[in-house]
Structures are given as C-alpha cells and as structure tokens.
Structure 1
Amino acid sequence: METRSAKRKKPCQNPPPADLDDEDRVSDLPDDILHHVISFLPIKSAAQTSVLSRRWRDLWYSFPDLDFTTAYSPPHIDSACRDAERRVRLHVARCAGYADQILSLLEKHSDVRVLRFRASLTFSRLSALIRHAVKHNVQELDIEVSTCDYFNFPRSVIWSSTLRSLRLKSCHPGFRLPPLEIMKDGFRSLSVLSLSRLILCDQPHLTNLFTDSSFPLLKKLHLEACFDLKHLRIESPALEDLSLENCYQLQDLEIRVQKLKKLRVRSCFDAYSVSSRVEIVAPDLQIMFWSYNAVTEECILHDLTHLQEALVGFYLLPEDLSVSKIRSVWNFLSGILNCHSLTLESQCIEILSKHNQFVGLSLRSFNKLKYLELATAFNKHNNSGLASIFRCSPTIHTITIMIIRDRSAQQQEWNKDLWQSTSSGEERHWESQAQSLSSFLHHLKVVKIHGFTECANDVSLVKFLLKHGKVLQQVFLSASLSKGRDSLLREKIKSQILGFSRASSNANIVFQ
C-alpha cells in the first residue's frame, strides 16, 4: 500500500498541456507581416492597436501606410449652390484639427511610404501636410481636397526624389499648375500621376507638358475634368497606361508613345468645334477604350498592330452628320482592324447605318476579330449597319447584341401565321445579305442576344442566323423584362423559334 508521501512523489502520468494563452505568437511575427495585417484595418482601429503593448506601440509608429480616407470624407459641395462657398469655409474650419492630427502623426512615424487623406483645408495647411510628407520620404501621395478658392499646385512635391505615385483631386473648385519651366524639370522619379479638376486658363503651354523631356519614368497618367484643355500632346517615353475623362473642351489630341499599352478616353472633345483632331501613334497598344466621345473632324490612327481589345463609342449630334465626321468614324474603325475583341456602343450602329448616302466610304475587314459585342436600338433602320459590321467580321466566333429599346418607336410583332405565304421586309433584307455574309456565317459559333422580344426584327435575325449558320453551336436569347407582354404569345413564339430550320445540327437554342 502506497504511503501518502509516495503518492506525492510519484510523477504525473499525463501532465496537463501548457497554457497557450500565456504565449503571444502574433506579436512575435516580423514587422513587415504585422504591418500588412494592420493595413486591412481602418486607420482608427490601426491606431488603437498601439495600446496593446510597447511592441504594438512601436509597430504603429513604424506603420508605413497612413490611409486617413477611412477617417473622414469631404462633403459633396455643389458649386452651383448659392451658399457653396460658405459651406466650404465652415468645413475648412472644422477640419483644422483633423489636419493638425495628421501633421502630428507624420512627426511621430519614422518612415511613411503611403499617405492618403481627404479633407476640406486651406491652402496653407495643405502645403504643410505635403511638405511633411515629402520630408518623410513618402512614395505614394493620394490627396482629395476641397478649398475655399482655386489653389496653386504645391511645389514641394515637384523636387521629391522618393515620390513614385501622386494623385491630386480637387473636389471644389480646382487648382492651377506652376509655370512650365518649373514643372518640366521636376518629378524625375514619378511613375504614376493622376490630376482631377485642373485649371489651365491662360496656361496653354502646359498642354505640352508631357513630352520627351518631362516625366522620364512616368508609366501611368490620368487626367480628369481639365478645364480649358483644348490641345494636348503626349510623348512621355515610358508611358504604358493613359486615361482621359470629362475633358469636354478638348479639340486636338496627339499621342506618340512607343510603349503605350492601355488607352482610355471617355466623354472628351468639343462637339461644336470645327477643327477637332485626334492622332495616335502607339505600336504596342493592346487595350483601347474610346467611350462616348464627340466625333472629331479628323482622325488618324497609326500602327495599332498589337491591339487585342477595343471598346468604341461616339457622341454625334443629330444635325452634325457631316461627310468629314462620318469619314472620321470610318478612319477610326479602320485604325483598329487588328483587334481580337471589339465592343461597339449604341450610336456606332446608327452612324454606320447612315453612311450609304456618302460616296467613297467602305469599311475594311476585321480579319483577326473573334469576339464582337454591340449595343443598338434594334430596328429596321439599323439593319444595314449591322450587316456592314457582320460583313467586315469574316472570322468571328462569338457575337453579343445588347438591344436598347426605344419606347417611342413602334415595333412590329412577329406573326408566323400572317407571314407564312410572304416574308417580312426584315426577312427579305437578311436573305439578300446571305451571300455577302458567307464567311461570317461559316465561322460564327455563339450568338447572345440580350433584351430579346417578340418583335419581327429580333425574330427575323435569329431565323436568318439559324438558317445559314453552318457551324453555329449556341444561341442564347435573354428576354426583355418589358411589362404587358402576353405570356401565351411569348411561349408560342418560343416554340416557333425552336422549330426554325437550322443549317447546323449542333445548334442549340437557350431561352434565358
């Protein structure tokens, strides 16, 4: 029998596991990993981690990415509002303490890599913030600011040797750049630049800012809502990504960049200008978005041999269907013939449908085009434009049609019983195109139609494609959500479509 003392001395057979709660394994992680974890938190939550321990306090003061956009957003101020200036001044006063807090944090943090903030500030406080950011060797500076008046671009960032990315957006009312002789010798290390609400009144020379001698390392450039920007020349040698938006006064755009890979131009050009022009030389361009831009009088596109994807949309006043602008549209489409994927916005088909009245215009073939997407107010007046695009797409694989309904237009509904003995005008039109579209019909495999209805135009096109599509595999018909449609009539027409003659035994029709 064991004594009581022997029991005390006997070693434990199954010692209890160590209390893992006493061990802080997270704090033992390297600084760069913990900085990455903290970066997913809002700035206030990230700052609160500093109270956990001395280790976490040091982590916070060495945190390189200061994003204050989650702490405050400037109010939306309508410049047309009567008391807009008073409201801006009120918010500027309220944000004075906010700016001082940012300045205090910049002094405490050892190495700031990224600084982002939004605020309503005076120009003096804005300049102070930027000077402190440059002092701490900031690499990425992202500023969205409202002020009481137009302000001048802060010169302290021009000579920074560490700045790699700069985004400056004025919510209200805008800002001006320094003279060209100051700007052109700065930003020697900048690779990303975004400027919004730039005022160029009485500074026409700044439109030649992005030339060979300026921004030698600039790879990405974004300009938005630049007032009085009428002429712009881009020749930055390292530029790969260029974006222009809402530059409504633009009249002349010249781009000569050998390394440019992506171009996005949206809602630009003066629709009332009589001398508008665009010229693009970009042999390495791969992606091009040209959306809702006014048609220029002259268009020249050179050497876009590497183009993979293009989106094209124009804004053309109804009374401005001149020969020069129609020819400009033709020149633009001829310049993107090498693309593999093409999207045409709604007014393109309307423009193409009206070209027959002009002599000497013929669209060349998109011999590399495999994927085509187009939007159109689908009616018989646009059939010639559709046929023209189909005819110029001899090796197409997939076509997607987004039908935009014009409520004011009268659509004739499909009625098989009425047209058994005689074909409709839409059917006769498409049948007359069968020979000229033979290559298109011998390559087309997938058709997707969104906004499909029981209108004669829609059904006639589907019937034509099924009848002549030699290798057609899939036809997806996504019905319009228009109200008041007779469900019995819709189901009847669906069954009629399923009974249409098919040139391809593999053709499958799917109603969505």
Structure 2
Amino acid sequence: MAQRKSKKICRRASEALNDDDQLSRLPDDLIQQIFSLIDTKHAVQSSALSRNWRDTWKSQSRLSTEIIRSPNRASGSKFPDFVHKFLTRRDAVAKLSTVDFRSNFIGFPLVREIISYAMSHKTRKLRIEFSGDRQTIRGELDSSLFRSRHLEQLFLRVGFGLKVCPPLIWDFPALTTLSVSRAKITLDDASKSIDLFSQFPNLKTLALDACFLFNIDTFIINSSELETLSLKLYSPSCKFVLSAPKLSSFTYSGVCHFPLSAKNLVSLKTVKFQTIYDRFVLNEDIDLMINSFNQFRNTESLAINLDTLEVLSIFLRSHGLQNRPFTRLQSLTVLSSQLPLPSTVSPSVIDYFMCSSRHLKIHIEHDPTPWRIWL
C-alpha cells in the first residue's frame, strides 16, 4: 500500500515539473534575448529543451551562422538544406533584422536565397563572408538582387563577381555602411561609366577592399554624407570621380595609375596612401599619381608607404619643388617594413613636405605586412 502511494506521489511530482519547469518559467523577452546571442543552428536545436520553446526560433530576428567544410568535403554538405528549411519555415511576417552568414565554401543558389529573403524581410544588417584562402567560385551575382528601403549595413566578402546592369541600380535610402571585399565588379553597359552610390543619401562609410574593376572606364562616387572612404583595389584603366563634402578619412591602396578628379574635399582630415612601384612603371603613371595625390592637399594627417616615397622621389628629381600643396599638414607617417629607412629614400621628399608646413611632425611606423595587390 505504501509502495503504491509512493509511486503515485512521484508521478504527480514528475508531471508538475514537466508542466512548469524552470526553463519554461523564464520571461519571454529573456528567452528571445538568449536565442539572439547564439548560433542559429544551436537556437533551433535548443527549441527541444522546452515545449514552450518549440516555435521560438520561428520568430527570431537574427540569422547568424558559420559553416566550415573540412578538406574531405563531408562536413557541411547538409547545410544548404538547413538554411532553406529555416527560411521557409520561420514566421512569414516576422522581421529578420540581422543576417550574418560565414563559410569557407559558397554556392550561388544558397547566396541568392539568403539575399532575396533578407531584402524582402526588412533586414537592417546583412553580412555574407567567404572565409576561404583564395578565390574559388566562378560566376557573378546580379546587383539587381540588392534593393531594400530598410537595409542600413551591407558587408560582402564574397570571392566572386558582382555584375552591374544599368539602368538597374542599387537603391538603399537607409544604408549607412557598405563594404565590398574580394569581388570582381563588372559593368554590363556600353557607356563604361558607373555610379553605384547616388541613391544612398545616408551613406557614411564606403570600403572597396581587394576588388577588381572590369569594363569600367569611369567610377563615380558622389555622396553628400560620406565621411569615410577606403579604396584598396586593382583598376589599371579606370578614372575615379569623387565628390564628398563631408569626407574626413580617405584610404587608397593600389597601382600608380590612379587618375582622380576630386572636388568638395573641404572636410578631409586623414589620408593613408599606399602604392606599388617597380621599374616597369611609366612616367605617365607617375604623373597621374602625383596629380591625384596632390588633390588631398587639405589633409592634416598623412600616412604613406615606401613605394609612394619612391614615386615622389622620381617625380621631384624630374620636376623639382614646383609647388607645396600640403600647407595644412600637421603629421606625416612613413609606413615601412624596414627600420631604419633604406638609404634610397631621397631627403628631397621630406623637404617637400617640410617646406609645405612649418609645424609638421614626422613619424616612422613599422609595417610588418606591407600592402600588396590581392590575387
């Protein structure tokens, strides 16, 4: 009799715990916060911990996941199916504020599905990152996929092509930050002139890193709100037209052939300029670089690498100190992988800057990984 009563008490206690366990009693907003901090795949798996959590993942506002495929190609083979099921089974009306997808292998169907879903669900931050060591994917994404009135931050490190087909252009009225890395940007237009950013009225930060520009003769950057611009790219035959009255920081890393037509750079404070010099550089390329370089005359802080110093030395030996444009310069930093500086650095270059500004301070900074064109 006592044994039967004991079993009955245990059964009732078990039922009470199942119906009202500690996990289930957590506040909904706290549960949502916990789920938003973990990887999406783990969030889906965690839904099995409590009956009340069964459908919590369906309304999650964040898709964040990283998948790394091992050399034997076994790992990650089911991942595209998981992402497809996640997108198709989540609440259709729930916002997806953040998409953060990182992988060492990327398939175009999966990338297109993620982008299309993000664009149609009011996503504010989209990051797609190819983490492989080299460019392995052939093909191109059409820029017409990217159209949203809600997107604020876009980061693409894709390792393949981005095709631009006018008159279709990117339309991002809310975008403040755009970063495109390791992409071949191709213009499918006979005019060979591209203006990608005119429909970005709130763009403040723009970075093109390790990008190749193909079939583009004129690259226009016209932005009234742009504050930070970084161009680290390969563009041997492209002219840049820049108008940015609020631009305060500019970075260029590329070949000597850098034809730039800039105006309204009245707010420029900081410039980092790195180029590559070798014996095959033409005098015409040097003249182009110097002309572009001198358009940053309003800067107060300038950082240059040794190759830029070499180009300046060659130019000064041919033309002398004809003008001194950097009258506002207060700080000059020389980036070098060799300390002390090699004897080939001409003192006339330092004089070039010293004569321009009376209060100039010169710094030598060790740069163990000098910039090179990404391949």
TM over 0.5: yes
- The number of residue pairs the alignment matches comes to 338
Aligned to 2:142: 153
Q: Residue by residue, what CA displacement relative to the aligned partner does 1:412-431 show, whole Å, maximum 9, x if unpaired?
A: xxxxxxxxxxxxxxxxxxxx
Aligned to 1:176: 163
Match of 2:297 among 317, 322, 337: 337
Any residues of structure 2 matched to 1:199-214 within 5 Å, and which? 199-200=185-186, 202-205=188-191, 207-210=193-196, 212=198, 214=199
Counterparts in 2 of 1:170 and 1:30: CA distance versus 1, 3 Å: same
Aligned to 1:316: 277
**Match status 1:68 vs 2:65:** yes
Aligned to 1:379: 343
* Secondary structure of 2:81 counterpart: helix
| C-alpha RMSD of matched pairs (Å) | 4.1
Counterparts in 2 of 1:318 and 1:94: CA distance versus 1, 3 Å: same
Aligned to 2:101: 117
Q: Is the 8 A contact 2:324 2:355 kept in 1?
A: no
Counterparts in 2 of 1:64 and 1:182: CA distance versus 1, 3 Å: same
CA distance in 2, matches of 1:404, 1:93: 40
Counterparts in 2 of 1:137 and 1:333: CA distance versus 1, 3 Å: closer
Cα deviation for residue 66 of structure 1 reads 1.3
Cα deviation for residue 64 of structure 1 reads 1.0
Counterparts in 2 of 1:308 and 1:106: CA distance versus 1, 3 Å: same
Identity percentage of aligned residues: 22
CA distance in 2, matches of 1:40, 1:149: 34
Cα deviation for residue 61 of structure 1 reads 3.5
Counterparts in 2 of 1:57 and 1:262: CA distance versus 1, 3 Å: same
Amino acid at match of 1:210: L
Amino acid at match of 1:334: N
Counterparts in 2 of 1:266 and 1:231: CA distance versus 1, 3 Å: same
Aligned to 2:230: 264
Amino acid at match of 1:340: E
Amino acid at match of 2:127: D
Aligned to 1:41: 38
Larger relative contact order (CA 8 Å, sep ≥ 6):
2
CA distance in 1, matches of 2:285, 2:143: 41
* Secondary structure of 2:357 counterpart: coil
Amino acid at match of 1:176: K
Q: Residue by residue, what CA displacement relative to the aligned partner does 1:436-462 show, whole Å, maximum 9, x if unpaired?
A: xxxxxxxxxxxxxxxxxxxxxxxxxxx
Q: Is the 8 A contact 1:180 1:205 kept in 2?
A: no
Counterparts in 2 of 1:336 and 1:289: CA distance versus 1, 3 Å: same
Cα deviation for residue 123 of structure 1 reads 4.5
Aligned to 1:352: 312
Aligned to 1:282: 244
Amino acid at match of 1:339: T
Amino acid at match of 2:166: L
Which sections of structure 1, spanning at least 5 residues, go unmatched?
1-21, 77-86, 235-254, 406-512
Any residues of structure 2 matched to 1:109-258 within 5 Å, and which? 110-118=94-102, 123-144=108-129, 150-153=139-142, 157-158=146-147, 160-171=148-159, 173-177=160-164, 179-183=165-169, 186-196=171-181, 197-200=183-186, 202-205=188-191, 207-210=193-196, 212=198, 214-224=199-209, 225-234=211-220, 255-258=221-224
Q: Is the 8 A contact 1:180 1:209 kept in 2?
A: no
Match of 1:294 among 242, 247, 255: 255
Q: Residue by residue, what CA displacement relative to the aligned partner does 1:251-296 show, whole Å, maximum 9, x if unpaired?
A: xxxx3333221111124331xx5xx6444332322111122x2223
Counterparts in 2 of 1:352 and 1:138: CA distance versus 1, 3 Å: closer
Counterparts in 2 of 1:111 and 1:371: CA distance versus 1, 3 Å: same
Counterparts in 2 of 1:281 and 1:147: CA distance versus 1, 3 Å: closer
Aligned to 2:83: 99
Amino acid at match of 1:141: L
CA distance in 2, matches of 1:169, 1:380: 38
Larger strand proportion of the pair:
2
* Secondary structure of 1:260 counterpart: coil
**Match status 1:400 vs 2:366:** no
Counterparts in 2 of 1:114 and 1:74: CA distance versus 1, 3 Å: farther
* Secondary structure of 1:372 counterpart: strand
Counterparts in 2 of 1:201 and 1:363: CA distance versus 1, 3 Å: same
Aligned to 1:433: none
Counterparts in 2 of 1:231 and 1:111: CA distance versus 1, 3 Å: same
Counterparts in 2 of 1:149 and 1:60: CA distance versus 1, 3 Å: same
Q: Is the 8 A contact 1:130 1:154 kept in 2?
A: no
* Secondary structure of 1:352 counterpart: helix
CA distance in 2, matches of 1:92, 1:30: 32
Q: Is the 8 A contact 1:327 1:361 kept in 2?
A: no
TM-score (norm 2): 0.71
CA distance in 2, matches of 1:346, 1:400: 13
Counterparts in 2 of 1:309 and 1:188: CA distance versus 1, 3 Å: closer
* Secondary structure of 1:314 counterpart: strand
CA distance in 2, matches of 1:57, 1:37: 15
Q: Residue by residue, what CA displacement relative to the aligned partner does 1:356-397 show, whole Å, maximum 9, x if unpaired?
A: 43236434164433332113542165233233333333113x
Structure with higher Rg: it is 1
CA distance in 2, matches of 1:328, 1:285: 22
* Secondary structure of 1:354 counterpart: helix
Counterparts in 2 of 1:295 and 1:227: CA distance versus 1, 3 Å: closer
Amino acid at match of 1:102: F
Cα deviation for residue 127 of structure 1 reads 4.1
Counterparts in 2 of 1:53 and 1:131: CA distance versus 1, 3 Å: same
* Secondary structure of 1:183 counterpart: coil
